[in-house]
């Protein structure tokens, strides 16, 4: 668990988060729609979110991914930060994704959360690299990434199907330097 500011913490997703995640996604449905895949009605239910939580918990236990929520002091979820597709071997890398509640934008939450997760990825998971992708017009996310030591490494045409269309993305990475002991 990491403190982000006086009102918010960043903690791993855990069993029982389904209802709060459903409320968060429902409250942010219009805000997130341009930045995410098209979602079914079922996605916004507590039951579907709890099923997703079970996958998150299983992935964390298996070392495949670690998903976090930004929780406010009233117990509501105000965002997500995900380390997906953790790969060991010769790569030691993961994909970073995140979103912030529309009512909490421009408070530095995204920047603080990305900073904490990058430190966690480098020091705790001992990864060599984090990659993130943003839509070409997502200037806010690009600023969060570059402000946290990520560098732009290219543009990927038709990278992800977002808002129902295959869209181009800018790719960013952050390399963690220094000796790291890797046993996998």
Residue 175 belongs to a domain: no
* DSSP assignments along 95-115, one per residue: EEEEEE-GGGTTSSHHHHHHH
Paired strand residues for 155: 170
Which sign, positive or negative, has the C-alpha torsion 172, 132, 12, 78? Answer: positive
Residue 181 belongs to a domain: no
Cα pseudo-dihedral 84, 160, 139, 148, rounded to 10: 20
CATH number for the domain that contains residue 30 = 3.40.630.30
Q: Spell 97-124 as b/e; 16+ CB within 10 A means b.
A: bbbbbeebeebebbbbbbbbbbebbbee
Residue 92 belongs to a domain: yes
Please give the residue range of the domain that contains residue 108. Answer: 2-128
Euclidean distance between the first and final Cα of the chain, in Å? 25
**What does the pLDDT look like over 170-180, one tens digit per residue?**
999 999 985 45
Residue 178 belongs to a domain: no
Q: Quick one: what percent of the chain has pLDDT higher than 90?
A: 95
Q: Which residues have CB under 8 Å from 139's CB, separation 6+?
A: none
What is the model's pLDDT at position 179? 44
Beta-strand pair 165-175/66-72: unpaired
Residue 123 belongs to a domain: yes
Q: Which parts of 35-169 fold into alpha helices (H)?
A: 46-62, 109-119, 139-147
Alpha carbons 138 and 105: distance in angstroms, whole number: 14
Residue 182 belongs to a domain: no
**What does the pLDDT look like over 85-141, one tens digit per residue?**
999 999 999 999 999 999 999 999 999 999 999 999 999 999 999 999 999 999 999
**Among 80, 87, 71, 89, which residue's Cα sits nearest to residue 114?**
80
**Which residue is associated with the tokens 């070392």?**
63
**Which residue is associated with the tokens 């916004």?**
44
Residue 149 belongs to a domain: no
Give the tokens for residue 107.
């408070």
Is 0.85 topped by the overall pTM?
yes
Residue 134 belongs to a domain: no
What is the model's pLDDT at position 159? 97
- Number of structural domains (the chain) is 1
């Amino acid at each position: 668990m990491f403190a982000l500011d006086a009102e918010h913490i960043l903690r791993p997703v855990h069993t029982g988060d389904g209802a709060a995640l459903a409320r968060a996604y429902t409250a942010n449905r219009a805000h997130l729609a341009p930045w995410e895949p098209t979602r079914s009605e079922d996605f916004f239910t507590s039951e579907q979110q709890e099923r997703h939580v079970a996958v998150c918990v299983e992935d964390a236990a298996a070392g495949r991914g670690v998903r976090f929520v930004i929780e406010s002091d009233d117990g509501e979820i105000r965002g997500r930060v995900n380390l997906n597709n953790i790969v060991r071997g010769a790569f030691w890398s993961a994909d970073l994704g995140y979103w912030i509640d529309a009512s909490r934008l421009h408070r530095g939450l995204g920047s603080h959360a990305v900073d904490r997760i990058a430190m966690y990825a480098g020091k705790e998971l001992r990864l060599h690299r984090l990659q993130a992708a943003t839509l070409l017009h997502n200037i806010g996310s690009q600023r969060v990434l570059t402000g946290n030591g990520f560098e732009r490494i290219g543009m990927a045409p038709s990278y992800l199907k977002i808002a129902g269309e295959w869209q181009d993305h800018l790719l960013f990475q952050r390399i963690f330097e220094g000796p790291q002991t890797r046993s996998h």
